[in-house]
Structure 1
Amino acid sequence: MKPKALIAALCASSLFAACADTGGIAPHRKPVEISSLDGGRVLSASLPAAGWPQERWWTTFGDAQLDALVARAVAGNPSLKLAMDRVEQARAAAEGAESAIGWDQDIEALSRRTHYSANHIFPAPLGGGSFWENQANLKLRYAFDLWGGDRAAWDSALGRERASELEARTARLALESAVVRAYVNYALACELHHELQAEVEQRQQIIDITLELRAAGMVAELQLSQVKAQLPLLKARLDASQSAIDRARYALAALAGEGPGAGESLKAPELALDRAIELPQAAPAMLIGRRPDVVAHRWRVEAASRGIDAVQARFYPNVDLHALIGLQSLSFNKFLLADSAAWEVGPAVSLPIFRGDELRAQLHGQTAAFDAAVDAYDASVIAALHEAADALSQRRSAEAQAQDTNEAVAAAQRAFDQAHAGFKAGLTGYLDVLQAQTALFLAREALVRSSAQRLASQAALMQALGGGFDPAEEPAGEVWSSVAKHADAPPPATETTRNGSAS
């Protein structure tokens, strides 16, 4: 072997001999395989081939006031602002990790009066004298990053940044859904108030007819008193319904990050309660890629995986190049002269020989963080499937209930019309009219509630289906690129294969 080759081999052997022992520390978790989860009949059923939710999905409800409320909430809700603040924190951390890659430079300057010992290494006249020490230096450092640790740390920070962005997107979706559901409650309160007003008016009409019949001697005073007795109770319910409207307005103002007074200016909703809304084909694998919360957890797993790579790189020797160039002088009048120039350059080698326990503790902590991220991802996948199944089931139930209550209202209306006409003609008693009226308003109230439930379930379904999140925004094919090294699991199925980089 040639001397140069022998020296290189010996140097390499020495470097690797200086590596710290990882102690066999490794993660214990792997991400769940989507194909192993049974979506059940609800998610596997054949649904209309409608498109997935659009980003502004609530506009399909056809209410401009609702659109404005959602916009105000997104702009002013404190909780959403807090989520965006976390995004900025993660972005700053990623910028800091990026700055550790490649060149690092610094400038230092000093001017100080120093007295040198006469009994130290410097002879007279420096020893025993006092002088001004003046320096201005440019320091340079280049990190070779031989084992990719700095790049892995940057990738990990970028993963956490993207996860924070998606968590903010999830918070925004939850806020949008909460505003829509609160607005549906507001619409429900207004509709119930309107129905009670109509019931009070009709009850007053029955009282007026009963008064006419009493004057004609066709009914007794007891019957008139019984008819009148129901009216105060209805008026009490009407007052309570106004309070429900006020509370719904205040809730909407709070979601928008505004005071209660902002809710008092809201008009009556104009929701299209009977609008037909198609459902997309919600296969489990397609659903997972459209949930920003699930994708955020996926990025957390990737970030933790790259964090393991960053820690593992510290087990190997590292080499940096250090350089300095500047001016140094013990007097002001010579500071800017050419012969005051000074420089130095050379490598700096760090050997982790005596840091084994510390590095193994760091690796143990990072692998535990990876396992926790995988567990959180698995939990989010299962929760996403269950939320979608629940929302689809509730949506279908609300549709069926709306159809049944429509039929009930039509039947109750016919019965009331017949009883009312007979009562005016003196052919039926007031009890028949009261019973028919009570049945009619109960049916109308059920219809209003089922319509509100239908819209609320639609809002929940839109949230469960990702609220318009586009999986094309994510480089899904690469998100799991480093995870496979630490957990033997295939990447989850997605709608399409896309190219991209996790970093």
Structure 2
Amino acid sequence: MTTSMTTNISTSRLVLTAIAAGLLLAGCGAVGPDYQRPAFDTPATLTTAANISKSVAAAEWLSWWKSFQDPVLNSLLDEAVAHNQDLVLAAGRVEEARATATAANSSRYPTVDANLVATKSRTSQNSGKIPAGSPLIAKDYQASLSASYELDFWGKLSRADEAARARLLSQEANRGIVISSLYSNLAQSYFALRAYDAQVALADSALKTRQENLRLQQKRFSAGSIGELDLHQAEAEAAATEITLAQAKQALANTESAIAVLLGRSPAAIANPDIPRGNSIDRIYQQLSVPADLPSDLLNRRPDIIAAEQTLVAANADIGQAKAQYFPSLKLTTTYGDESKVFQDLFNPASLLWNLGANLAQPIFRAGAIGAVVSGAEARKTQALAQYVQSVQGAFRDVHDALINTSANEQMYAAGNRRVVALKDSLRLAELRYKNGYSGYLDVLSAQRDLLQAESGLIDTKRAHLAAVVSIYKAVGGGWDKPQSPATK
């Protein structure tokens, strides 16, 4: 007896000591680390390369595609925003995160329920639970309001709310990633489409020229003016141009189907894509503009950086939520209403009932479960921090590469233009020398082949230059609206 009583007293003292220690250590503030943005060594300004001649003083970052002055491109982007399935998926994830954030916030408030209960039961006559002669069948009616509330002394609920709100912002930023990627991918695909249109036209024109040359060579061969070698060279060149035309048509068809998918069109429309055309690649290239000054607040603009940081914020809040489990939880409950065995007397003043309750629970032994949860939360924060750092590194690399590519493409375009002019003169001279008998037909074919390759390369350079400029806008987070804080909605 004495030993048992001593054990009970010791256990009670241990529980009280643990609760008191929890109160002293935790205080009344939220446990866990408060979020602080990691510091980075970032450049003060972001400027385009000095040798880029085409530039404008300012750019509309949220509608940069309008600078190309192509109404068809504008309409295609509007269609994609309305129907693209990646965007629909991203919007659904945002709504799911918003619902989760609302649920997390609601846990910080009391819950109130209205209860209406009616029971009828029969007690066994042989159970000995009721006095002799008492009725075996009993009825009970209750009408009440019950409420419960958990006091958030240690910030468990507030940390959960903080994490859920951060994840909502992260999902909204992820939707921004989808939007900016959609804009840039569709614009670049459209530029590729117009470039392949130009490639098809160029190859078709070259093929007609090669076929006409072949007919002339066949006549000359029949007349005995040329040998068999010149005839076969003309045949081979015509066949090679047919291959070039077929390849250009193949790339064009594949680009059309890719655009149809980006536009969110039906399977039938993807199988037989009908993509409208606007300005030619030359006209679009004439409208090319490069922003003179890039936004310096790259960390605040890029949706992927915002998403990564909000994921880090959520992971940081999860640590506080996990550590709060070390400390006692206090829940308050109350019920107020009426109870009667006769329904007619349910709302009689004599049927009033009420109760108040408080439940204070302090974890004592969990076999390391709480510590494991805390360790897991800290590990997830480490992962989130690494992903955030990688996002920042990737963002500045994207800007660097986009600027370098834009500068290089401008230089290649200027050199390509000079090469085309020179090759046109070379072809003219080679044809003149061949007609006058100073050189063989192989020189003419070589000049034709080089000119076709140079003109095709110039079209590719225009497309690459346009794509690089679009990459600049994407790299600095252009083309999407910043997510709005849930508190302001």
TM-score (norm 2): 0.82
Whole-angstrom distance in 2 between the partners of 1:125 and 1:101 = 51
Partners of 1:315 and 1:359 within 8 A in 2: yes
* Distance change (3 Å), C-alpha of 1:376 and 1:236: closer
Match of 1:265 in 2: 274
CA offset at residue 54 of structure 1? 1.7
Deviations 1:271-310, CA, capped at 9 Å, x for gaps? 4023332235447x62222211011111111122222223
Partners of 2:73 and 2:190 within 8 A in 1: yes
Tell me which moved more, 352-361 or 333-342: 352-361
Match of 1:254 in 2: 261
For 2:260, the aligned partner's letter is: A
For 2:61, the aligned partner's letter is: Q
Q: Secondary structure at the match of 2:148?
A: strand
1:288 correspondence with 2:299: yes
* Distance change (3 Å), C-alpha of 1:197 and 1:338: same
Match of 1:58 in 2: 65
CA offset at residue 448 of structure 1? 0.8
1:34 correspondence with 2:40: yes
Tell me which moved more, 176-185 or 162-171: 176-185
1:369 correspondence with 2:345: no
Q: Secondary structure at the match of 1:139?
A: strand
Deviations 1:94-132, CA, capped at 9 Å, x for gaps? 111111112211122221212346767765666x62111
1:331 correspondence with 2:342: yes
CA offset at residue 179 of structure 1? 1.9
Whole-angstrom distance in 1 between the partners of 2:229 and 2:362 = 103
* Distance change (3 Å), C-alpha of 1:94 and 1:122: farther
Q: Secondary structure at the match of 1:466?
A: coil
For 1:301, the aligned partner's letter is: L
Match of 1:274 in 2: 286
CA offset at residue 136 of structure 1? 2.0
For 1:277, the aligned partner's letter is: S
Give the paired residue count: 461
1:348 correspondence with 2:352: no
1:462 correspondence with 2:473: yes
Match of 2:104 in 1: 97
Whole-angstrom distance in 2 between the partners of 1:175 and 1:120 = 77
Residue from 135, 148, 151 that aligns with 1:141:
148
CA offset at residue 449 of structure 1? 1.0
RMSD (Å), alpha carbons: 3.6
Residue from 142, 155, 160 that aligns with 2:162:
155
Q: Secondary structure at the match of 2:391?
A: helix
For 1:335, the aligned partner's letter is: L
Residue from 445, 453, 458 that aligns with 1:447:
458
Deviations 1:139-191, CA, capped at 9 Å, x for gaps? 11233323332222112111111101101111222222222232233223222
1:88 correspondence with 2:92: no
Whole-angstrom distance in 1 between the partners of 2:137 and 2:24 = 48
Match of 2:21 in 1: 17
Match of 2:331 in 1: 320
For 2:205, the aligned partner's letter is: A
Tell me which moved more, 394-403 or 73-82: 73-82
Q: Secondary structure at the match of 1:324?
A: strand
Q: Secondary structure at the match of 2:479?
A: coil
CA offset at residue 215 of structure 1? 7.7
Q: Secondary structure at the match of 1:55?
A: helix
* Distance change (3 Å), C-alpha of 1:343 and 1:124: farther
Whole-angstrom distance in 1 between the partners of 2:455 and 2:334 = 84
Tell me which moved more, 87-96 or 269-278: 269-278
Whole-angstrom distance in 2 between the partners of 1:348 and 1:365 = 29
* Distance change (3 Å), C-alpha of 1:196 and 1:295: same
For 2:362, the aligned partner's letter is: L
CA offset at residue 196 of structure 1? 0.6
* Distance change (3 Å), C-alpha of 1:232 and 1:112: same
Partners of 1:159 and 1:502 within 8 A in 2: no
Residue from 308, 321, 327 that aligns with 1:310:
321
Whole-angstrom distance in 1 between the partners of 2:24 and 2:140 = 42
Q: Secondary structure at the match of 2:286?
A: coil
Whole-angstrom distance in 2 between the partners of 1:113 and 1:195 = 91
Whole-angstrom distance in 2 between the partners of 1:361 and 1:253 = 49
Match of 1:8 in 2: none
Whole-angstrom distance in 2 between the partners of 1:196 and 1:409 = 15
Partners of 1:291 and 1:464 within 8 A in 2: yes
Match of 2:4 in 1: none
CA offset at residue 77 of structure 1? 2.7
Whole-angstrom distance in 1 between the partners of 2:425 and 2:98 = 65
Deviations 1:241-263, CA, capped at 9 Å, x for gaps? 22221111111112223326345
TM-score (norm 1): 0.80
* Distance change (3 Å), C-alpha of 1:98 and 1:121: farther
Whole-angstrom distance in 1 between the partners of 2:99 and 2:460 = 48
1:435 correspondence with 2:446: yes
1:297 correspondence with 2:308: yes
CA offset at residue 459 of structure 1? 2.5
Match of 2:242 in 1: 235
Q: Secondary structure at the match of 2:121?
A: strand
Whole-angstrom distance in 2 between the partners of 1:139 and 1:120 = 33
Residue from 155, 176, 196 that aligns with 2:203:
196
Partners of 1:30 and 1:374 within 8 A in 2: no
CA offset at residue 221 of structure 1? 5.8
Whole-angstrom distance in 2 between the partners of 1:308 and 1:379 = 22
* Distance change (3 Å), C-alpha of 1:501 and 1:326: closer
* Distance change (3 Å), C-alpha of 1:245 and 1:381: same
Whole-angstrom distance in 2 between the partners of 1:184 and 1:146 = 59
For 2:371, the aligned partner's letter is: R
Deviations 1:396-423, CA, capped at 9 Å, x for gaps? 1111111110111111122223444555
Match of 2:82 in 1: 75
Gaps of 5+ in 1: 1-11, 476-499
Deviations 1:196-220, CA, capped at 9 Å, x for gaps? 1111122234345546766876545
Whole-angstrom distance in 1 between the partners of 2:286 and 2:268 = 30
Percent of aligned pairs with the same amino acid: 25
